[in-house]
Amino acid sequence: MNLLLLFMIIKVENLPVPEVTCSNCQACCCHLEVIIISETGVPRQHIYVDEHGSETMLRLDDGWCSALNRDTLMCSIYESRPWVCREFEMGSYECITERKDKA
């Protein structure tokens, strides 16, 4: 018996585009190297100082910044986060690139 399979191609338009928001993100940008270039009150235990004295946010073995709350995926030092973190814009090209890289 011949079995005839019919395939229909249906053009689907206006599929919902996932919203880019920190609440549906795995804190992707908190894997990046964050250079500390101004004094915002970052607690010392979250700062890595290299052999030249340059300061960056300490990252732990899982790759995330040590100041990230692993349970909530929110910044635990939000009020004193570095300038770089303040300038990193949700929905920006850099943000979307990080999300894609970590997907």
Q: Which of 1, 11, 25, 37 is in the footprint of ligand SF4 by CB under 6 A?
A: 25
| 95 is a contact residue toward ligand SF4 (CB under 6 A) | yes
State how far the Cα of 55 lies from the Cα of 42, in Å rounded to an integer: 11
Per CB under 6 A, does 36 bind ligand SF4?
no
- Tell me how far, at minimum, the Cβ of 53 lies from ligand SF4, in Å: 20
Q: Which residue, 20 or 49, has its beta carbon nearer to ligand SF4?
A: 20
What minimum distance in Å lies between the beta carbon of 8 and ligand SF4?
Answer: 37
